[in-house]
Chains A and B, each alone.
Chain A
Amino acid sequence: MNERIIGRVRRVNGPVIILRGVRDARMLELVHVGNGLLVGEVIKLEGEEALVQVYEDTTGLAPGEPAYGSGMPLSLELGPGLLGSIYDGIQRPLDELLKRTGTFIGRGVSANALDRSRRWGFVPSAAKGSLLAAGAVLGRVQETSRIEHRICLPPGTSGKLISIAPEGEYGVDEVVAVIDTGQERRELTMVQRWPIRVPRPARSRRPPSIPLVTGQRVIDTLFPLAKGGTVAIPGGFGTGKTMTQHAIAKWCDADIIVYIGCGERGNEMTDVLTEFPHLVDPRTGKSLMERTVLIANTSNMPVSAREASVYTGVTIAEYFRDQGYHVAVMADSTSRWAEALRELSGRMEEMPAEEGFPAYLPTRIAEFYERAGYMDTLSGSEGSMSIIGAVSPPGGDFSEPVTQHTKRFVRCFWGLDRNLANARHYPAISWLDSYSEYLEDVSSWWTDLAGEGWARDRKEIVELLRRETRLLQVVKLVGPDALPDSQRFVIEVCGLFKNAFLQQNAFDEVDRFSSPLKQYKMLSLILAYWRRGAGAIKRGVSLGELKKIAVLQDIVKMKFTIKDDDEEAFAKLAAALDRAVDRLESAYA
């Protein structure tokens, strides 16, 4: 290791250590501490002392041991080979670690994030002699069968292309282009490095207008998320945060998924690792793993790397965004990240604000979510990064600091409800607490797809759900029999809507994903039942008769039985419903 000694350990007390005799360390510099060369980052400089946050377990580290500075901030390697990989919080490849230290994760191991032995087919797309701006595409690599990796000039680098490699196979650290920046000739490989705490630049931000289609009905229809948007999913344990995140990661229409397992269960990451390669993307027919990058810092891995893991994830996502892709980042769970901040802050003996969290918690949360957006990239294409952050409030209490501050900086909120989860109503997204500020932004997209009726129908069902809530309060006091049939019918229709529409079975081959059009057809059918039924009740048909309509059983099961593109089946159901209500009404004519 050709790094300089920047100081020696003075005190060890968990993951934050103090160095003495420090003169030339830089703020946020990557350092290697002690005889075991543990990875760390300088987080505070004072006099001749430096505070270092160590990303590995510090057991055995003793005062007097040296610390080596690397001269650069904690950065990622970005290039072909990211897709399908699983990394720890500081981008060490876990499968490589497995080969080196076995089943249990060792310490002080360094490994290249991108495999040096692998060769990639590079196809140049920039012409020699051309003037290139930062972010311009130099060439292309077919990284997986569905994703073309675009090799771009790193931000901050521009100039005249002096030479570019011909089409052929290259390793990631071979020079593929030389550029004259005006000051120097710079050799470029397919890898670029980028510090995790600095957002990658884009040309400009666009207002979000296209929904991120998740295939989850309660989300797409009631509380849509836009591409480039941010959403928080808070919920106590067992309410299905991870299940919802997994479902979105599997079926949403993003090009790239970055899944950050931040302080969560080891088996959940294993679940993703074993399941995703076998799942097939309904849109491309390719394995889902081909578009996925995993960042795993499980709950028993070092807490300081947990703090870094979310930045690692968003930096990788921004890198793909800059190539013109739509990226969705799942951060599960941002509360563990906030708690890591709290723990480190405590070790640094900072003055705490609410519940022991540091006073800069809201700033950090804001900085994190603001990295999302729908951008015009430097390369001239459009790309987006959406952030879907799970929040784990203690005791399921949404008034705690992390949930509250997150709410300030996201525009969409999917609150998970304990009672729904207890009744195994999944996804347990509450239709009363949740909201989406993207509704206006994406409604023209829906109108183009489904016609003017969509906005009206959506509004109508939301209104019905509100009425039902009020009616249920009455029912709680006096029982349902006290209500007239017209009001009981509201409860009936909402019950049908919850059963047939809102509930979605993540394990059913058909039900796990609904196309936007299928969602709209389902919603229309349920509303047709409401409109015709309400009319029939006015004509004297009783609620009991309406409930006995045989076609209702088919409506309840349509989510399982009717495939996405089968418009005919929906038309048939609608006709059958009309006939059934006609028959009932004819008796009272």
Chain B
Amino acid sequence: MPELKLGPDTERRLAAAREYRGLARIEGPLIFVRKTHPVGYRELVECVDSSGSPRLGMVMDSSDDLVVAQIFEGTQNLTMPDTTVRFTGKPLSLGVSTAMLGRVFDGLGRPIDSGPPPKAEREVDVNGRPINPTAREYPRDFIQTGISAIDGMNTLIRGQKLPIFSGNGLPHNELAAQIARQAKIRGGKTDFAVVFAAMGVKHDVARFFIRSFEETGSSDNVALFLSLADDPSIERIVTPRVALSLAEFLAYEKGMHVLVILTDMANYCESLREISTIRGEIPSRKGYPGYLYSDLAEIYERSGMIKGLPGSITQLPILTMPNDDISHPIPDLTGYITEGQIVFERDLGGRGIYPPVAGLPSLSRLMKDGIGKGMTREDHPHLASQLFAAYSYVKDVRNLASVIGEEELSPLDKKYIAFGEFFETRFINQSPDEDRSMERTLDLGWEALRRLPAEELHRVTDEELDTWYGAEVGG
């Protein structure tokens, strides 16, 4: 090291101009460079192959004699002697601006539609920083999605992170698109934007979303970040971070209400596992790295509302549960971080019920503070609790019926079967373009409860029974 007395920042800026030619080793997406100047951990790397095209990467391990970096676009065609590497002295950053709405980007945030690069209003570090818990505003405003299974039973709150746990072949994309289309806050006109990040999804899926945004004329409020199935898998590590950096800018600096759709988080985790394995880290469950929880938290926690600022970030991550197994590490760790989950049930899907939202394992943790008097309707909290309780009993009755036959059930249990049927086919089930009002959803809930005798309804008050249960309305 030269013994010049320069400030550390100046030193690093000068060093950023240095280029190193030749690599010590290439393994998977990782490159190893020897004898560099001191390089910062997680610094952005530019690596130029023999044909002259640049690739971006990030430093994963920095020591006196060796630097390891992962290259987002993969290492195919790199050669050991002819590759030049430059360390930029800053972390991976993204130039953000409102002009990015209505545009399509690759997984690293570079435009891939035919338009010019949008002029950046600001450069932000894509890794983000944790929000100080004292700066957070506790989310309370419910979002009406027009979908009974969500509005009635698992109410979505502005600033919430609510994932969809789905399986292959189930209509999670349709549901996410429907939510993006129909989501509204009661009584308020709002600056609304959608940031969409696709990680390892098929071209058809990306096209489905683009078309859905176009059809509703909302594509000017949507920014898409696409790292598709045939893009390098390493790039996916960065895609959600890039998307959330834009979302944070729009929400906290421009005051917009941003809905972030991340799909498919399972692919993201696969990429993380890939890197971890190549780096020879000690795996925890199913080969996933021990820090999967912290890593996912870095993504999911970038949502919410901030005191004194008008905007919000609501996250709707989609993940397909491998083999429909909810105890698989990906949905499991996600469920521990997010504020609830919408779980899809293959059986409901098979019966043609849309959306196939499983009644019992689905949950919205923030619902309790966003519903009820003055927000949705005064009967909502008890009604939802009663529907859950009754539906849970339906499951027991069905199990019993499968043993002794439906005929042998007691008259009361038969009423429960009728309730379950109504609940699934009339309350949960709706068409992908039906936008139900909150009142309609709640009324339907009472209509379902009318299949049961009043003595069975322990979770609602007598007054509620008088007002809503008694009022016989034709359905």
What is the interface of chain A, defined by CB distance below 8 A to chain B? 10-14, 18, 20, 35, 57-65, 86, 94-95, 97-98, 101-106, 236-238, 261, 263, 265-267, 269-271, 273-274, 296, 298-301, 303, 336, 339, 342-343, 346, 352, 355-356, 392, 394-397, 419, 422-425, 475-481, 499, 507, 553, 556
- Within 8 Å by CB of A299, from B129, B283, B337, lies B337
Give the nearest-CB partner of B276 in chain A: A346
Q: What does the 1/0 interface line of B356-378 toward A look like (CB < 8 Å)? A: 00001101011010000000000
Sample of 13 A–B contacts (CB below 8 Å): A62-B12, A238-B365, A263-B297, A265-B337, A267-B339, A299-B294, A303-B291, A336-B293, A339-B294, A346-B290, A395-B328, A423-B389, A481-B410
Q: Give Cα A464–Cα B91 distance, bound, in whole angstroms.
A: 63
What are the residues of chain A within 8 A of B285 when measuring CB–CB? 355, 394
Query: A342 touching B290 by the CB < 8 A rule?
Result: yes
What are the residues of chain B within 8 A of A339 when measuring CB–CB? 290, 293-294
- Within 8 Å by CB of A392, from B42, B252, B336, lies B336
Query: B400 touching A12 by the CB < 8 A rule?
Result: no
Query: A355 touching B60 by the CB < 8 A rule?
Result: no
Q: Give Cα A339–Cα B385 distance, bound, in whole angstroms.
A: 34
Query: B139 touching A267 by the CB < 8 A rule?
Result: yes
Q: Give Cα A582–Cα B265 distance, bound, in whole angstroms.
A: 63
Q: What does the 1/0 interface line of B386-400 toward A look like (CB < 8 Å)? A: 001100110000011
Query: A395 touching B62 by the CB < 8 A rule?
Result: no
What are the residues of chain B within 8 A of A35 when measuring CB–CB? 8
Q: Closest Cβ of chain B: how far from A253's Cβ, in Å?
A: 25
Query: B63 touching A63 by the CB < 8 A rule?
Result: yes
Query: A477 touching B403 by the CB < 8 A rule?
Result: yes
Interface residues in B106-154 by Cβ distance below 8 A to A read: 125, 127-139
Whether B41 is near chain A, meaning CB under 8 Å from some CB there, is yes
Q: Give Cα A141–Cα B285 distance, bound, in whole angstroms.
A: 51
What are the residues of chain B within 8 A of A267 when measuring CB–CB? 136, 138-139, 159, 304, 339, 366
Q: Closest Cβ of chain B: how far from A18's Cβ, in Å?
A: 8
What are the residues of chain B within 8 A of A12 when measuring CB–CB? 40-41, 61-63
Q: Give Cα A299–Cα B285 distance, bound, in whole angstroms.
A: 19
Query: B127 touching A59 by the CB < 8 A rule?
Result: yes
Query: A62 touching B41 by the CB < 8 A rule?
Result: yes
Q: Contacts A299-B297, A419-B392 given; 7 further ones with Cβ under 8 A?
A: A63-B64, A103-B131, A238-B365, A267-B304, A476-B403, A477-B403, A478-B404
Whether B38 is near chain A, meaning CB under 8 Å from some CB there, is yes
What are the residues of chain A within 8 A of B282 when measuring CB–CB? 346, 352, 356
What are the residues of chain A within 8 A of B135 when measuring CB–CB? 98, 102-104
Query: B301 touching A355 by the CB < 8 A rule?
Result: no
Give the nearest-CB partner of A420 in chain B: B392
- Within 8 Å by CB of B294, from A237, A265, A343, lies A343
What are the residues of chain B within 8 A of A95 when measuring CB–CB? 134
Q: Give Cα A270–Cα B328 distance, bound, in whole angstroms.
A: 29
What are the residues of chain A within 8 A of B131 when measuring CB–CB? 103-105, 266
Query: A63 touching B294 by the CB < 8 A rule?
Result: no
What are the residues of chain A within 8 A of B128 when measuring CB–CB? 104
- Within 8 Å by CB of A20, from B40, B64, B132, B336, lies B64
Q: Closest Cβ of chain B: how far from A300's Cβ, in Å?
A: 4
- Within 8 Å by CB of B332, from A237, A263, A269, A424, lies A237
- Within 8 Å by CB of B293, from A58, A63, A274, A299, lies A299
Interface residues in B279-310 by Cβ distance below 8 A to A read: 281-285, 290-291, 293-294, 297-298, 300-302, 304, 306, 309
What are the residues of chain A within 8 A of B340 when measuring CB–CB? 238
Q: Give Cα A266–Cα B135 distance, bound, in whole angstroms.
A: 10
What are the residues of chain A within 8 A of B309 when measuring CB–CB? 103
What are the residues of chain B within 8 A of A11 when measuring CB–CB? 61-64
Q: Closest Cβ of chain A: how far from B311's Cβ, in Å?
A: 12
What are the residues of chain A within 8 A of B399 when measuring CB–CB? 476
Whether B433 is near chain A, meaning CB under 8 Å from some CB there, is no
Q: What does the 1/0 interface line of B16-41 toward A look like (CB < 8 Å)? A: 00000000000000000000001111
Q: Closest Cβ of chain A: how far from B233's Cβ, in Å?
A: 21
Whether B239 is near chain A, meaning CB under 8 Å from some CB there, is no
Q: Give Cα A425–Cα B388 distance, bound, in whole angstroms.
A: 9
Whether B335 is near chain A, meaning CB under 8 Å from some CB there, is yes
What are the residues of chain B within 8 A of A336 when measuring CB–CB? 293
Whether B80 is near chain A, meaning CB under 8 Å from some CB there, is no
What are the residues of chain B within 8 A of A298 when measuring CB–CB? 130, 133, 297, 301
Query: B1 touching A64 by the CB < 8 A rule?
Result: yes
Contact (A300, B130) CB under 8 Å given A59-B91, A98-B135: yes
Whether B431 is near chain A, meaning CB under 8 Å from some CB there, is no
Interface majority SS on A: helix, strand, loop or mixed? mixed
Closest 10 CB pairs of A and B: A395-B327, A299-B297, A11-B63, A423-B392, A237-B335, A422-B360, A104-B129, A62-B38, A300-B301, A269-B133
Whether B455 is near chain A, meaning CB under 8 Å from some CB there, is yes
Give the nearest-CB partner of A477 in chain B: B403
Query: B8 touching A63 by the CB < 8 A rule?
Result: no
Query: A63 touching B388 by the CB < 8 A rule?
Result: no
Give the nearest-CB partner of A13 in chain B: B61
Whether B43 is near chain A, meaning CB under 8 Å from some CB there, is yes
Whether B341 is near chain A, meaning CB under 8 Å from some CB there, is yes
Q: Give Cα A476–Cα B400 distance, bound, in whole angstroms.
A: 6
Q: Give Cα A355–Cα B304 distance, bound, in whole angstroms.
A: 33
- Within 8 Å by CB of B341, from A64, A238, A346, A479, lies A238
Whether B329 is near chain A, meaning CB under 8 Å from some CB there, is yes
Q: Give Cα A342–Cα B281 distance, bound, in whole angstroms.
A: 12
What are the residues of chain B within 8 A of A57 when measuring CB–CB? 127, 129
Q: Give Cα A299–Cα B336 distance, bound, in whole angstroms.
A: 10
Contact (A59, B294) CB under 8 Å given A267-B339, A422-B361: no
The CB with the most chain A CB atoms within 10 A, among B134, B138, B363, B403, is that of B134
Q: Closest Cβ of chain B: how far from A97's Cβ, in Å?
A: 6
- Within 8 Å by CB of B133, from A63, A94, A475, lies A94
What are the residues of chain A within 8 A of B281 when measuring CB–CB? 346
Give the nearest-CB partner of B39 in chain A: A62
Give the nearest-CB partner of A349 in chain B: B282
Give the nearest-CB partner of B59 in chain A: A12
Q: Closest Cβ of chain A: how far from B241's Cβ, in Å?
A: 12
- Within 8 Å by CB of B39, from A63, A94, A236, lies A63
Q: What does the 1/0 interface line of B337-356 toward A look like (CB < 8 Å)? A: 10111000000000000000
What are the residues of chain B within 8 A of A103 when measuring CB–CB? 131-132, 135, 252, 306, 309
Query: B284 touching A356 by the CB < 8 A rule?
Result: yes
What are the residues of chain A within 8 A of B290 when measuring CB–CB? 339, 342-343, 346, 356
Query: B40 touching A342 by the CB < 8 A rule?
Result: no
Q: Closest Cβ of chain B: how far from A536's Cβ, in Å?
A: 20
Q: What does the 1/0 interface line of B60-100 toward A look like (CB < 8 Å)? A: 11111000000000000000000000000001000000000
Q: Closest Cβ of chain B: how far from A361's Cβ, in Å?
A: 13
The CB with the most chain B CB atoms within 10 A, among A106, A300, A499, is that of A300
Q: Give Cα A270–Cα B400 distance, bound, in whole angstroms.
A: 44
What are the residues of chain A within 8 A of B211 when measuring CB–CB? none
Give the nearest-CB partner of B294 in chain A: A303
What are the residues of chain A within 8 A of B191 when measuring CB–CB? none
Q: Closest Cβ of chain A: how far from B72's Cβ, in Å?
A: 17
Q: Closest Cβ of chain B: how far from A177's Cβ, in Å?
A: 34
What are the residues of chain B within 8 A of A97 when measuring CB–CB? 132
Contact (A424, B392) CB under 8 Å given A60-B42, A395-B327, A479-B408: yes
The CB with the most chain B CB atoms within 10 A, among A104, A236, A237, A394, is that of A237
Whether B458 is near chain A, meaning CB under 8 Å from some CB there, is yes
Query: B455 touching A553 by the CB < 8 A rule?
Result: yes
Q: Closest Cβ of chain B: how far from A297's Cβ, in Å?
A: 10
Query: B41 touching A13 by the CB < 8 A rule?
Result: yes
Q: Give Cα A267–Cα B304 distance, bound, in whole angstroms.
A: 8
Query: B458 touching A300 by the CB < 8 A rule?
Result: no
Q: Give Cα A397–Cα B326 distance, bound, in whole angstroms.
A: 12
What are the residues of chain B within 8 A of A477 when measuring CB–CB? 403
Q: Give Cα A24–Cα B139 distance, bound, in whole angstroms.
A: 50
What are the residues of chain B within 8 A of A356 when measuring CB–CB? 282-284, 290
Interface residues in B175-233 by Cβ distance below 8 A to A read: none
